[in-house]
Amino acid sequence: MKKLKLQNEVFKMFVANYKEWLDILGYAESTVYYLPNHLKEFFHYLEQYNINNINDITTKTVKDYYSYLQQRVNERRSGALSKSYLNKHQQALKKFSEYLKNHNHKGINIHLKSEKQPTEEKLNILTQSEIKQLFRATEFSHSENRFKLRDKAILTVLYSCGLRRNEAVHLDLSDIYFDKERVFVRKGKNYKERFVPINRKNAEILEDYIYEARPEFYNAKATEALFVSQQGKRMQGMSFANRLKAIVQATNNKTIAEKEITLHILRHSIATHLLQQNVPLESIKTFLGHSSLESTQIYTHLLKTIENDGI
């Protein structure tokens, strides 16, 4: 149903913002992908009944929609939607109601009984202790020292500097200002440039990689890329993801492995840790390169959720 087209511009905005909200909260990639699609299907249903304002959504509206889902044909195989899939639709609506309440709206009433035990996704945020384990694991993430030093440098830019994957991919050697203790980020979201601070420890990690490990990679002198692949080219996003998997495996920590950590989760983790250390939201906003404070404020909700879960 992902091919459904919405006409209502407000509904389109809600789907986009809801997806960003889930992403910033650190939910699994599958959740960030599927729940907005389920919400889109709900909005499409509303449009068919000329309901174009979320304030007009009643408990009956939601129950009628769910009855429709229970009878809808499964497009991938014969028969009806599975109970697990129905639960995902419920989760999408419940999370959307939560999203509304976190954005100063009363939300919508979701009085639906789960088909079975809810399959609520857990927040995959690393603790500061787990981050330290990742850094220690770079001593065992590869048999060759050049890869170990590169792995530690990758963790530094993705966690300590809070860079997005694309930002890390496009870092050049000239973007590291050791004298100013800054990293220049030019390929930010919407191409917004910013400087990210690095402390002495992070600078030493980058220095070890640049001056000891990087020259050992094939054809390294022929590229300005900070992170060089085995083929002597700029490392791409998939290679970063694969190295993170190797680092996680090297921890031999089942808890970390079960969290299915992605590159973006490292960024979520540093933002949460900064908030735990009472760093002002405005400073975190600048650090992450958010265009608005509203995006950064989502982390305050995430922190409350983590504290309630005892993480």
Our answer to whether residue 38 is catalytic in this structure is: no
Choice among 186, 189, 221, 304 that is catalytic: 189
* Residues 97/80, Cβ–Cβ less than 8 Å: no
- Residue (of 201, 152, 148) closest to 178 by Cα position: 201
Asked if residues 4 and 15 have their Cβ atoms less than 8 Å apart, the reply is no
Return the amino acid letter for 207. Answer: E
Annotation says 33 is catalytic? no
189 is catalytic: yes
Contacts of 199 (CB under 8 A, 6+ apart): 160, 181
Residue in 150, 267, 268, 273 annotated catalytic:
267
Active-site annotation holds for 136: no
Distances (CA, A) of 84 to 48, 92, 93, 114, 295: 26, 13, 15, 9, 31
Whether 241 contacts 263, CB under 8 Å: yes
Instruction: Give the Cα separation of 256 and 142 in Å (integer).
Output: 18
Q: Catalytic pick from 12, 63, 264, 301?
A: 264
Q: Dump the DSSP string for 101-127.
A: HTTT----------SSS--PPPP-PPP
Question: 244: which 2 tokens?
Answer: 């993170």
- Kindly state the tokens that stand for 119: 């399959």
CB of 197 closer than 8 Å to CB of 182: yes
Catalytic residue among 146, 164, 214, 268: 164
Task: Measure Cα distances from 221 to 173, 206, 217, 279 in Å.
Answer: 11, 17, 9, 39
Q: Is 165 an active-site residue?
A: no
Residue numbers annotated as active site:
164, 189, 264, 267, 290, 299
